[in-house]
Amino acid sequence: MLKKELEAQNEILWNKIKDLEKLLTEQVKAKEENPDMDIIPMNRIVKIQNLYNGNITLKKSDSSSSIILKLNFYGDTKPIFYSDLVKCISFQNRFFKDGFIYILDQEVVRANYLHEHYKDLLSKDQIDNFLEYSETEIKDIYKRLPSQQKIAVLEQIAMKLNKENHIDKNKIDIVSQVSEVDLNELAQKLK
């Protein structure tokens, strides 16, 4: 190679290094100014959980080839790359805001501006143990839930009624009253 060609390539490399230094400095400065800012690597694995009593297919667009992941039943937990999750949140936002799908990583929840919605959402354990709340908590929590999570709570209680004999009937009555749904009738339908 000629000396001029080497000098030109050297100049290009130095400019790239300067650009990278500038970018890194900006990111460090942004993180210092806003320590709550989450920078999550796109190849990070995030666990998500199906809180819908059925199958959910996550997609990144309307195309049939855009299917990323299938969650097959209530409680099904699967890993997903953060880059794919961001696309799914963008395309199927309602699934994540209304509690069809529960993200099991609070940093990811905050980074995607879902934390306000998650204040009222219940995790699988909270749904499964809903009858362990006090009467006041049951009424207060149930009223704040999005409709999908109300359905999940009612279905899980109805399925418990079908399996267990020792359920607190007073709490069943409280949930029936606040939800305006006859849980014994729902349990019969779900048998």
Hey, where are the domains in the chain?
A: 1-36, 45-114, 124-190
Please give the angle made by the CA atoms of 164, 169 and 173, to the nearest 5 degrees.
125
Which residues, 6 or more positions from 111, have their beta carbon under 8 angstroms from its beta carbon? Answer: 38, 40
- According to the model, what pLDDT value does residue 184 have? 87
Number of other CB atoms surrounding residue 49 within 10 Å:
16
- According to the model, what pLDDT value does residue 26 have? 72
b/e map of 154-170 (b: 16 or more CB within 10 Å)?
bbbbbbbbeeeeeeeee
Give yes or no for a contact between 95 and 20, defined as CB atoms under 8 angstroms apart.
no
DSSP 166-180: ---HHHHHHHHHHHT
Give yes or no for a contact between 175 and 154, defined as CB atoms under 8 angstroms apart.
yes
- DSSP-derived 3-state class of residue 100: coil
Please give the angle made by the CA atoms of 124, 56 and 41, to the nearest 5 degrees.
75
Claim: this prediction has a pTM higher than 0.95: no
In whole angstroms, what is the distance from residue 53 CA to residue 75 CA? 8
In whole angstroms, what is the distance from residue 20 CA to residue 73 CA? 45
- According to the model, what pLDDT value does residue 25 have? 76
**Tens digits of pLDDT across the chain (191 residues):** 688 888 888 888 788 787 778 767 776 776 666 666 558 899 999 999 999 999 999 998 887 778 889 999 999 999 999 999 999 999 999 999 999 999 999 999 999 999 999 999 999 999 999 999 999 999 999 999 999 999 999 999 999 998 877 888 899 999 999 999 998 889 888 87
